[in-house]
Amino acid sequence: MTGSGPHAVPPGSADGTGGASPPRVSVVIPNYNYAKTLPLCLESLRRQTLPPFEIIVSDDASTDGSADVAERFGCRVLRATANQGVSAARNAGAAAARGDILFFLDSDEALSPRSLENAVRLLAEDPGLGCVHGVIAPEPLVDDGPIEWYRTLHAHHWRLKGVGPTPTAFFAAAAVPRHVFEEVGPFHPALRDSEDVEYSERLSARYRILLTAQVEAAHDEEHRLGAMLREQFRRAQYLLPFAAAHRRRPGALRANSMAGVVAALFTVASLPAVAVPPLAVLPLLGLVAFACADLPLLCFVGRRRGPGFLPLFVGLHLLVNLQIALGAATGWLRSKIDRDFGAPPGHRLQEDGTPPARRTARFASRERTEGGTG
């Protein structure tokens, strides 16, 4: 599915109306078993006020027929023979792209209609920008119940709070000029988690990054409690080995505060005090401290879903913060035992957490023709 044919006017040349043609946008969608949401993702691209030049679905050996869905939409589909992870999938799509701007879009997200146009305009207005990425919409892409609403509202709030210049880029809905991607190099293929943070470190050393509400995507969040908590635990293991230094940088994006994590731990640890009357108030104090750690978030949730939703939201948020604490502690222990934990043989990280060799996107295109999502 393309927004321009083989005889398209080259970018920056006359378009026949006295002006310059807009940059060609290649949308790169990593996909692994997202047949449920991929049609919604692709439909959102059909509604863009700036049609994409091409849409590339980099399929990571899906087994649910989602690659066939992409072909029915007229997309260019890259099929991997084995699952390799989201970084490899994005790299394969970027290597195959022909556009001037790479727009990375996850297959469980759907863009608002002006997102591509706004991203291209913001990049054109500031040549020093290396990436423009967007926020999560306050409504889920697919309404699967209260847990999904919890995840969606939380994700929308903390990203909206971070709008503006930042050293952090998230590539679920992000535009990067092709020349920037080729200069910075591909995503680290070993990383299935924290790949955004690792890439942000390399990108922000050369270019500015902008988080903007003018690019917005509705996201299909996890809606099952057990799966959500396991995901949080898994991702939190990389906080200390890979992401701690980045999180300390001014303007870095943070989904949760350290105060909230500490208050959650205190609340649970003090529960046995309920049996001791003089100390029975401690868990309640911990819960109050936990709520106050991000009071604007609770106010936002109360406005969006009503006060009746707040007790469930606070309970879920408490569980998530506990998983973050447990995951971070586990990751710290694993990093002490194995400095290279999380990176398979052949893709070890250096002391500073960067890849051993930074290959350009063009080199990667010669080396890898297929990729995948984890």
Listed by start position, the domains of the chain span: 25-223+352-367
pLDDT exceeds 70 at position 160: yes
What whole-number distance in Å separates Cα of residue 293 and Cα of residue 300? 14
Question: Tokens standing for 262?
Answer: 């500490």
Confidence of residue 337 (pLDDT cuts 50, 70, 90): confident
Contacts of 295 (CB under 8 A, 6+ apart): none
Where is average pLDDT lowest: 26-35, 125-134, 136-145, 269-278?
269-278
Contacts of 298 (CB under 8 A, 6+ apart): 291, 310, 313, 314
What is the CATH number assigned to the segment(s) 25-223+352-367?
3.90.550.10
Tens-digit pLDDT profile for residues 241-292: 666 677 778 888 888 989 999 999 999 999 999 999 889 999 999 999 999 9
Q: Which run of H or of E encompasses 159?
A: helix 146-161
pLDDT value, residue 241: 62
Tens-digit pLDDT profile for residues 16-65: 334 568 899 999 999 999 999 999 999 999 999 999 999 999 999 999 99
Dihedral sign (CA 235, 258, 155, 103): negative
Contacts of 252 (CB under 8 A, 6+ apart): 166, 167, 168, 246
pLDDT exceeds 70 at position 363: no
- The CA radius of gyration of the chain, in Å to the nearest whole number, is 22
Q: Which residue has 């293991």 as its token pair? A: 237
Strands 101-105, 208-219: parallel, antiparallel or unpaired by DSSP? Answer: unpaired
Question: Tokens standing for 76?
Answer: 């260019």
Confidence of residue 7 (pLDDT cuts 50, 70, 90): very low
Tens-digit pLDDT profile for residues 178-200: 999 999 999 998 888 778 989 99
Helix (H, G, I), strand (E, B) or coil at 372: coil
Q: What is the dihedral of CA 182, 184, 187, 193, to 10 degrees?
A: -160
Confidence of residue 332 (pLDDT cuts 50, 70, 90): confident
Residue 164 is which amino acid?
A: G
Quote the mean pLDDT of the chain.
86
> Closest Cα to residue 54, out of 111, 94, 14?
94
pLDDT value, residue 244: 65
- More confident of the two residues 180 and 361: 180
Share above pLDDT 90 across residues of the chain, in percent, rounded to a whole number: 71
pLDDT exceeds 60 at position 105: yes
Contacts of 143 (CB under 8 A, 6+ apart): 149
What whole-number distance in Å separates Cα of residue 3 and Cα of residue 52? 5
Where is average pLDDT lowest: 127-141, 226-240, 343-357?
343-357
